[in-house]
Amino acid sequence: MFIKQITVFIENRAGRLEEVAQVLKENDVNIKSVSLADTSDYGLLRFIVSDYAKAVNVLKEAGFSAMAADVIAVKLTQEVGQLGELLSVLSDVSVNVEYMYGLTSDDQSAFIVLKTSDQNKALEAVKAAGYELYTA
């Protein structure tokens, strides 16, 4: 099952990141995980939040480019080789990882958030391999 991630476009200007966090705080949206991809001129801020629909709305209202996208969050145990194993499951079905980052659930389990070249195929593969998925 997919979960929703929000993506926000921000220019590389001082204070912009803080403004995004401020908007979410003021609207009582909890940030569960965050990742920033940067280029020389702009960055893409990716969040897993408590209420994605609300987050997208309030960010748009505040003038940001924001969107929701489907991602997969796969549970990993704290053992050597776990990530490599997961990635081999994906490469076996010829799926590329576009980006990924970590997420910790309320019960302190570790998850890896994935965006791949074929999300449906990726989802099937990890399910078939017996991985536990994060559900918001």
Residues that bind another protein (CB under 8 A): 5, 7, 9-11, 16, 37, 39, 41-42, 44, 46, 63-65, 67, 69, 98-99, 115
Return the number of the residue (68 or 76) whose C-beta is nearest another protein.
68
Q: Which residues contact 125 (CB under 8 A, 6 or more apart)?
A: 89, 90, 92, 93, 95
Return the number of the residue (7 or 134) whose C-beta is nearest another protein.
7
Cα–Cα distance for residue pair 14/19, rounded to 1 Å: 10
Return the number of the residue (28 or 65) whose C-beta is nearest another protein.
65
Q: How far is the CB of 78 from another protein (least distance, A)?
A: 28
Q: How far is the CB of 130 from another protein (least distance, A)?
A: 28
Return the number of the residue (16 or 129) whose C-beta is nearest another protein.
16
User: What b/e readout covers 64-102, taking b as 16+ CB neighbours within 10 angstroms?
Assistant: bebeeeebbbbbbeeeeeeeeebeebbeeeebeeeebbe
Q: How far is the CB of 119 from another protein (least distance, A)?
A: 12
Q: How far is the CB of 73 from another protein (least distance, A)?
A: 15
Tokens, residue 10: 């921000």
